[in-house]
Structures are given as structure tokens and as C-alpha cells.
A and B are shown apart, each in its own frame.
Chain A
Amino acid sequence: MKLPRSAVIVGGNRTPFVKAGGAYAQASNLDLLTAALDGLAARFGLAGRRLDEVAGGAVLKHSADFNLTREAVLGSALDPTTPAVDLQQACGTGLETVLYVANKIALGQADSGIGAGVDSASDAPITVTDGLRRALLAANRAKTLPQRLQALARIRPHHLLPIAPQVVEPRTGLSMGEHQAATTASWGITRAAQDELALASHQNLAAAWDAGFFDDLVTAYHGVTRDGLLRADTSAEKLAALKPVFGGTEGTMTAGNSTALTDGAAAVLLAEQSWAKANGLPALARIVDAQVAAIDHTSGDDLLLAPAHAVARLLERQGMQLGDFTFYELHEAFASTVLATLAAWESAQFCGDRLGLSKPLGSIERAKLNVHGSSLAAGHPFAATGGRIVASLAKALHTEGSGARGLVSICAAGGQGVVAILEAV
């Protein structure tokens, strides 16, 4: 399919990512998103300029932040007449904001825009119990004082306890880690393989920092200049010593091969290709195509394997093979998520029964996977991960030279997955 116009990635900017409750404990989603936008504006001379739209989002969001992205724009160096929209698709949010802007550019509805995402697990909204909420809402609706008192009289002491947000699938009651533990076991993903992937993530991210790869992708924030979760000195032995946190005592998933709760924000500048040129902006890579898919974990499907389906549909539409890419960016929600996805693509049974293919999609070269590190080492501020990946991949592809292609794959809560193809300009 030929798109009417070409949407290119001009560049990106993010804050360093840090562990929740750490250096950004006092920063809100709005603060972090504003910082990411300001850094992007500074990098590309966007101060005082009106862009066609900024799309942003957060997964853990206060109801007071109903217009989070618009408020961030108003607090940023961008022209205040730049419009904004909030999107949300769990961990797919960041990539979806990029696709939203890219699609508008491709269709001629916009020439320039930003796709962004932020999450602060430190600033997560605490909610009140259902009992208190319903009583307060009823009191609010009441027309007379006795009615109001009657409604308030329904409040019980235990209603007053606060409720912190949980990463639990509402329809199964299982946490994401518990879901993934079942997937890990059923695909027979070993502890050693998971730790190996985690180690590679830290080593790759550390090497990229040392090589200055992130110098034009990250802006220091709140005294932090590097990703705080990165353990450049970790080793196979250190990772092997960690106790399992999911899957019981016999489990293979540890704090070392699972992502930690993280704070951070990321933003990606997109533009129509000739508009970028006319405005003296670089063009790193264009968005070729994208696909979203979902599985039914409420019937027992593997919660985080929807990207395996999305990639199959995307390759089919593009007439491409799984091996046709220079780089692969598979979001490391857990090391075993990446490994189970790779195993699924290699499985004749999965590809036949679930994807309807006559032969497996095949293997990928591990040396091309997450070459600048991924979420295990960088951390995973849910909605910011898409922007981190897209900007890093676009830069890496551009360095490879025109025509180099990269595949992005991100799994999300609710049994969803969003994937995209980028191509170096």
C-alpha cells in the first residue's frame, strides 16, 4: 500500500529513566512530559513554533490530568496555540501516539507533530474505595439535606482506606507477572536464557551510553544524566543469584529479568518529509506501516503474545519476511516475553494453528535484537517506552544508511500488541 505522503522521524528526546520512588519521586506526569517536550523543542529549535498537533499519554493517570498533553504543551516552550490530544493503550501508548501523528501527516491533515508518552509510578493516582466513591457521588446528586446525609451515612470506616493502582488484569485477577509466569512455563523458557537476555540488555545499553549514542536522544533532568536502572557492572552470576518473584519458588522470573516500575518521559518529533527539508530539519527514518492486534487472555491465551500476531499480519501486508530487517526492537516487558515471542515465530505449531501460516515465520539474528539495550536495562515508564524505542531505532537505522529497515514490537496490558516498521531515509 502506497501512502499519499511520507511521515518521517526527525528526532527524539527523553528524560533519563529512573526507578520509581527515586530521583523523580516529587515530579508529576505533567512535569516529566513538559521536560521531554522542552528538551525536544530545544534540540530542534521549536521554541515559540506552532506544530500541527502533539499526541501524548500516560498509563497511570490522575483524573485531574484529563488534558495532560495539552497542559504540558501550555507549560512548554512550544507555541501555546499548538493543539494536543491524550491517547492511552497501556504500554502501547507511546508507539500509538507516534502512529497517530504519522498517520495524520501521511493523510495530509498535518505537516508536523509530536508523539509522546510519560509515566510516573512515583506519582501514581491513589483512589478511594468504591463504597466511598459511590456514597460521595450519591451525596453530590442529592437535592435535599436529609438525602445528602442519608447518602453520607453509608460511608463505613473501611471505605476510607486508600487504594493504590495495581498492574492486574481486571478480567482474570492475575497480575501481568503472574500471566507471564504461565507463558514462561508453557513455552519452556529457561532461567538461563532470560538472564542472558537481561545481561545483553544492560551491556548493550551501557555500551550505547559510553559511545555517546544517547547524547542527542536524552536530556538530563532533575540532576540525572543517565538511566538510573542501568547496571553496567552486572553479570551472569549476579543475575543468577536473584530469587524468583513470579511463578512461585520454582519460578524463573526475577527482578533482574523483569522490568522495574520506572519514572520517565519520551517524545518524538515527526514531520512530512519535504516539510522537514524545507524547515532545515533532519529526517532519520520514515514510518512504513503498523499493525495492532489482540489475543483473548480471558480464554487462556498468553497475555503478552499479541505482537506475535500483529507482526505476522504486518509482514503479510508488506510482502516481507521476518528476516528482512536490519534491527529488531522487541520491548522487554520481561525477558521471557521477548523469548516466548521469538519461540512463537519459530514454532510450526503456533504459526500454523494460531497465525494460519503454512510455515513458521522463522528466527531472527540475535545480534540484531535490541542493539542499544531495551526496557530491562533502561526501565519501563509505561507510556514513554514507545518514544524511547522509536527515536533510538530511527537513529540507528539512519546510521546504517538509506533503506535499512527496523521492526518495533510492543506488548500491552489487556492482551494487546502494537508493531511498526521503520525505514531509514
Chain B
Amino acid sequence: MKHMRPLNRKAKRIDQFVASLDEDVVALQNPGARPHVPMGCALSFSPGWEVDSGGGTAGLCQPVERDIYDCYVTCFWPAQVPDHLNNYPDWASKCAVATKDWRKLDLVYP
């Protein structure tokens, strides 16, 4: 923990517990190796869908407009948003902050 320094054994156990809440679960890997995180919203464990690791919902996809970039940039999802990679690279160029500028996102007509 950054703001509470553990000074006895019990405090160190609490410190480890709190740290473990934010760690990736890495199974069957060499110590030190980073877990392989595949691209794609269904596989990357980015927050955004239900709840955070502590069971909370603050700071997730609120407002929902924030989700647009999870679909448009990091994970091409043709059913909901235009294709950023090939046909509509400038679709979101006028939308600097999704929570404020979401109205500038328009429909596209292929």
C-alpha cells in the first residue's frame, strides 16, 4: 500500500492481501513473466463491463458513451460502430472527449 506502511507481521499480511486484489492471476507461468493479454474486449480484462475487482461500479463505463472507444479503437466490433481500421479512420476525430462530445459522433452511410 502506498499510504499506510505496515509495521508488524499482521499488517504485512493485510498489505499483501490488498496488493493481491489488484494483481493478475498468473497460473503456470515462470516467475517474473507477464501474463499474455490478448487484444479484444471479450478477452482483455479492461474494466468496462460489469464491476471492478472490488465489486464496485464507480469509474467504469459511466457514462455509457465511454464504451464507444472500447469498441471502435481497441476492438473492432462491426455491429455497433464503424470500421476504424479500413473505411472510417476519421469517424471519431471530432469527438475529443466521449463524455462531452459524443453528440459529434454521427451515423455512417456506406
Query: Do A and B belong to a common assembly?
Result: no
